[in-house]
Amino acid sequence: MSKQQLDLDSFKAKLLALQTSLEDVRASGDDAAATVELDQTRQGRLSRMDAMQAQAMSVEANRRREQQLVRVKAALKRIEEGDYGWCLECGEPIDPRRLEHDPAAPLCIGCAENAEKA
């Protein structure tokens, strides 16, 4: 794969937009992950359980969002270093269709499948 086959400016723009989106959601999602108040005089047991479940889901969503943000920043760094579009595991080119689907993908499909099996 030559650098001409990948429109790096397009992928960089997608990654920057994704980064901005993730950071915006991070700023608004922190309130939902706050500790649930367990005041029995203000809410019933089921309401507290619902609130605790919503809090746990928010915490997990925040964790996943942070992981995605790390992947996006790493992809942007690879663009700057001239390594974008190459598999970090085997060094082979990553199919541009894979990058269209996930611009932060660090592995080719073969290596990604192997990583999932491990």
Q: Backbone dihedral region of 85: left (phi > 0), alpha (psi from -120 to 50 degrees) or beta?
A: left
Average pLDDT of span 78-86 = 95
Alpha-carbon distance 111 to 115, whole Å? 6
Average pLDDT of span 31-51 = 65
Alpha-carbon distance 48 to 40, whole Å? 8
Does the pLDDT at position 78 exceed 50? yes
Does the pLDDT at position 33 exceed 60? no
pTM score of the predicted model: 0.76
pLDDT in tens, 88-104: 999 999 999 999 999 99
Domains of the chain: 3-117 (1.20.120.910)
